[in-house]
Amino acid sequence: MLGCCSTTTDEKPISRKQREFARREQEILAAAVSLFENPHWETVTVEQIAKKAEIGKGTVYKHFTCKDDIYANISTGFMTRILTAYRIHDERTEIIDAIKEIISTSFEMFLGNPAEARVSFYCKRGDFRERLTPELKAEFEMLDEQFTGYIGTILQKGINQGLLPNKPVEHLMMGLEATFDGAIGSIWNGDINCPQVEDQETYITIISEYMVAGLVGLKK
């Protein structure tokens, strides 16, 4: 109920009615995501989402307590998919390559799924998190931990191998995260109007190199 059907704590729905209800919830989220493809995603109204999902506006509120609840469910789903994407390359042994892989996977996921990515970006905001229900807040915290845990483990290996500076992995992660977030923001804001950069791909290459350089450059 209330936006929880798509979470990880998903007890199998029994009746046809419950199944249909759960399916409808996914339809609402899919309708929302398809409308959020538009760069002006924040102006999409609940009424438009309802219309796209071919239901009444009131029904949306039977599934989600508020608009933020829709955003949150899109974001948690997307974050889970990113974590899955990271883990495909789990067996890598070269740490620098593993870091590059995480960076490129992140860019691919964010740029390949602009709607979900934009919403997820929005959902990182402190004031957004504050007004969430404790359950959703906890889910976000769990996902955040999985991210820092996954990346932190790889960075720690890099430190142990002497490839990265011996600093707390959290500190190393801060730089990476800030640069990634800033770069994604730049891309979405159309900041890349500088004539030196032919395209987005070049920009990503530059940023990715800078991210790795920032890590290893800290050694001295």
In what helix (H) or strand (E) does residue 29 lie, and over which residues does it extend? helix 16-36
- What is the three-class DSSP state of 135? helix
Out of its own copies, DNA, none, what residue 188 binds, judged by CB under 5 to 8 A for its kind, is its own copies
For position 45 contacting DNA by CB under 7 A, the verdict is yes
Task: Kindly tell me which of 105 and 148 has the beta carbon lying closer to its own copies.
Answer: 148
Distance CA 86, CA 179 (A): 19
User: At its nearest, how many Å lie between its own copies and the CB of residue 201?
Assistant: 13
Task: Kindly tell me which of 54 and 209 has the beta carbon lying closer to its own copies.
Answer: 209
Q: Which of 1, 2, 142, 213 binds its own copies (CB under 8 A)?
A: 213
DSSP summary character for residue 218: T
C-alpha atoms less than 13 angstroms from C-alpha of 20 in its C-beta half-sphere:
3
Distance CA 97, CA 108 (A): 16
Burial of 96 (0-12, 13-18, 19+ CB in 10 A): middle
For position 166 contacting its own copies by CB under 8 A, the verdict is no
Tell me which residues touch DNA (CB under 7 A).
Answer: 1, 15-18, 20-21, 24, 43-47, 55-59, 61-63, 65-68
**What residues line the site for its own copies (CB under 8 A)?**
39-40, 124-127, 129, 148, 168, 170-171, 174-175, 177-183, 185-186, 188-192, 194, 196-197, 203, 206-207, 209-218
